[in-house]
Amino acid sequence: MHAVIPYVTGALLFGLGVYGVLRRRNAILVLMAVELMLNAVNLILVTADAAVRATLVGVQIESWAYPNGRPAHSGGVFALFVIVLAAAEVGVGLAIVLQYYRMRRAVHVDEVALHHDDEQVSR
Amino acid sequence: MTVADVLLLALGAVAVGSGAAVVTSNHLVRSGLYLVISLGAVAGLYLVLGAELVAWVQILVYVGAVVVLLLFAVMLTRAPIGPSRDLDRPAWPALIVGGGVGLGLAALLADAFRWTLYDRPPPGTAERMGTQIFGQWVLPFEVLSILLLAALVGAIVLSRPDIGAREGEEA
């Protein structure tokens, strides 16, 4: 396999995610774009794991570097961790979005007031 | 070009194409469904790259849970079924930054790795990944469980207006 194909795919997906985060007004679509970015990072982690492991076959590593045995599949494990983080992020993010929708009846991120207004909004 | 290359190219094209549809579509629900296609294609890429467990977890957690949660949020915010006019901001800054990041990273990685041929690694089955997670990575794994608990509690507190209301303020 040529590792450059999934690498470039991941880079393009990340660029699409950045574009979506900056372009979209709807908070849910922004979250979808963030998911695209996290997926791109996962893809690059898994690809790097596969490519590096295929390259390092037969390379002697100092034994003091890994007291608990030679690590393997580290990129995959990291990808799993990132997937769990993404699930937690989307849970909390959607709770915030829904609460904001309950207060303002809108989910447009560029209309969120960053300053504190004195008159209390009706809930 | 081996079979793995052809598969990687096809799945990558599907992932990038439907990813582009996610960030450009005018329909909220269609964006979510394109996201399913994109995530599924990335899961296929994981399979080709030999990360079996990651691929199935991707299907289970992303396609099964995250996208369903996003579609629930689309429904709960009373999004219109048809096309919406007001989904986008001006395109220029996003196009410049997003295109710059994407193409810049792609050029960087393409220049770094060229057209080098790698052997396909042994597949990351559940047994091997589990040995690693519960051996090398057991402490981050436990920290992650605490983080999940915190996210759970945080989501509940955020979505219940009667918790955390200040004194004298009607919830």
Instruction: Say if residues A44 and B108 touch (Cβ distance below 8 Å).
Output: no
Phi-psi region of B110 (alpha: psi -120 to 50; beta: other; left: phi over 0): alpha
pLDDT reported for residue B167: 59
pLDDT reported for residue B78: 79
User: Which residue has better confidence, A119 or B150?
Assistant: B150
**Can you give the CATH number for the domain in which A93 is found?**
1.10.287.3510
Rounded to the nearest angstrom, the minimum Cα separation between A62 and chain B is 17
pLDDT reported for residue B159: 82
CB contact under 8 A, B51 and A79: yes
User: What is the number of domains present in chain A?
Assistant: 1
Per-residue pLDDT at A80 exceeds 90: yes
**Confidence bin at A83 (pLDDT 50/70/90):** very high
Q: Is residue A22 part of a domain?
A: yes
Place of tokens 């009706």: A122
pLDDT digits (tens, 9 = 90+) for A96-117: 898 888 888 878 888 777 776 6
Per-residue pLDDT at B40 exceeds 50: yes
pLDDT reported for residue A121: 52
Q: Is residue A33 part of a domain?
A: yes
**Confidence bin at B122 (pLDDT 50/70/90):** confident
CB contact under 8 A, B61 and A1: no
Q: Is residue A117 part of a domain?
A: no
Q: What is the domain partition of chain B in residue ranges? A: 1-83+109-122, 134-164
CB contact under 8 A, A5 and B9: yes
CB contact under 8 A, A50 and B49: yes
pLDDT reported for residue A53: 81
Give the C-alpha separation, B147 to B70, whole Å.
21
Among A11, A18, A32, beta carbon nearest to B109: A11
Q: Is residue A76 part of a domain?
A: yes
pLDDT digits (tens, 9 = 90+) for B57-92: 999 999 889 999 998 888 888 777 778 877 788 888
pLDDT reported for residue B168: 57
Give the C-alpha separation, A38 to A33, whole Å.
9
pLDDT reported for residue B76: 87
Q: Is residue A63 part of a domain?
A: no
The parent domain of residue A102 ranges over 4-58+72-111
- Could you tell me the fold of the domain covering B1-83+109-122? Four Helix Bundle (Hemerythrin (Met), subunit A) (1.20.120)
Residues of chain A in contact with residue B42, where contact means CB-CB under 8 angstroms, are 13, 39, 42-43
CB contact under 8 A, B132 and A73: yes
pTM given for the model: 0.89
pLDDT reported for residue B171: 45
CA distances from A58 to A61, A97, B38, B89, B104 (A): 9, 51, 36, 53, 34
pLDDT digits (tens, 9 = 90+) for A30-44: 999 999 999 999 999
Intra-chain end-to-end CA distance of chain B, in Å: 63
Q: Does A80 touch chain B (CB under 8 A)?
A: yes
Residues of chain A in contact with residue B134, where contact means CB-CB under 8 angstroms, are none
pLDDT reported for residue A13: 96
CB contact under 8 A, A83 and B50: no
pLDDT reported for residue A123: 45
Q: Is residue A120 part of a domain?
A: no
Query: In this complex, how many residue pairs, one in chain A and one in chain B, have their CB atoms less than 8 Å apart?
Result: 282
pLDDT reported for residue B165: 60
Q: Mutation test of the interface with chain A: which of B6, B158, B162, choosing the one with the most A Cβ atoms within 10 A?
A: B158
